[in-house]
């Protein structure tokens, strides 16, 4: 794998950051199943506090990268950010080598409403542009997109995780093509969901393809 023109140490360390109910755990599970089936060494970890909708959820997928389920500081190869604040929360795991796909649609934390009525400080959701900027300052290969809008355009906001998976597979950094990956999943999916998620997945693939052809880091080709 070649990210930002630098050699990858060994394997792939992918972090999925989002909130409960966004489908991040499903992304992790699908990646695990796909790569375990293909004979890779896969490890995955999830961390969520009390299992509640709306809480922060981080999951890791490590492919051929050892036995520890926890990604160390600065060692994520790819971050899929399903929510802007949660993507920024993952900054410590990023470095200049990290490829980031970042959804720009916020899920408002409930504490903000409380802070607003009690007239406490920090009652505003941080400006999304600022969050993207902060992430990009650490990981120059950060691509932001309104993935929630793409999912809705495909038929359901629930297909957000399919859009983000599309970005990951479309980036061409994993040792599997997007068609190989998706065909295995689509056959297992109930017909009612298949069309929406397939469209969502391909809109993610298309986004990653388009953006990856643009010159980055002072014109170094990807």
Binding site for other proteins (CB under 8 A): 9, 19, 28-29, 32-33, 36, 41-47, 49-56, 66-75, 85, 88-89, 91-92, 94-95, 108-114, 116-118, 122-123, 125-126, 130-131, 134, 137-138, 157, 188
189 vs 212, beta carbon nearer other proteins: 189
User: DSSP labels for 126-168?
Assistant: PPHHHHHHHHHHH-SEEEEE-HHHHHHHHT-GGGHHHHHHHHH
E strand map for the chain:
2-3, 6-7, 12-19, 42-48, 56-63, 78-81, 99-103, 141-145
Dihedral Cα 178, 88, 59, 199, nearest 10 deg: -30
70 vs 217, beta carbon nearer other proteins: 70
- The CA-to-CA distance between both ends of the chain, in Å, stands at 11
CB of 151 to other proteins, least distance (A): 13
47 vs 217, beta carbon nearer other proteins: 47
CB of 107 to other proteins, least distance (A): 9
Q: Is 209 helix (H, G, I), strand (E, B) or coil?
A: helix
CB of 190 to other proteins, least distance (A): 10
72 vs 217, beta carbon nearer other proteins: 72
CB of 221 to other proteins, least distance (A): 26
């Amino acid at each position: 794998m070649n990210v930002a023109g630098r050699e990858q140490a060994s394997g792939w360390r992918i972090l999925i950051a989002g909130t409960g109910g966004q489908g991040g755990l499903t992304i992790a599970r699908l990646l695990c199943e796909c790569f375990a089936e293909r004979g890779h060494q896969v490890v995955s970890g999830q961390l969520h506090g009390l299992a509640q909708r709306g809480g922060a959820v981080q999951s890791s997928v490590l492919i051929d990268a050892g036995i520890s389920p926890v990604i160390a500081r600065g060692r994520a190869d790819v971050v899929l950010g399903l929510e802007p604040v949660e993507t920024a929360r993952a900054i410590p795991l990023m470095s200049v080598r990290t490829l980031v796909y970042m959804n720009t649609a916020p899920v408002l934390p409930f504490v903000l409403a409380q802070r607003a009525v009690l007239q406490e400080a920090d009652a505003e959701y941080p400006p999304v542009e600022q969050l993207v900027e902060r992430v990009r300052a650490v990981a120059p290969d950060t691509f932001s997109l309104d993935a929630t809008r793409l999912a809705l355009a495909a038929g359901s906001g629930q297909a957000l995780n399919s859009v983000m998976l599309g970005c990951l597979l479309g980036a061409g950094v994993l040792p599997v093509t997007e068609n190989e990956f998706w065909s295995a999943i689509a056959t297992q999916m109930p017909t009612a969901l298949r069309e929406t998620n397939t469209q969502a997945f391909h809109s993610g693939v298309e986004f990653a393809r388009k953006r990856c052809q643009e010159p980055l880091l002072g014109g170094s080709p990807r």
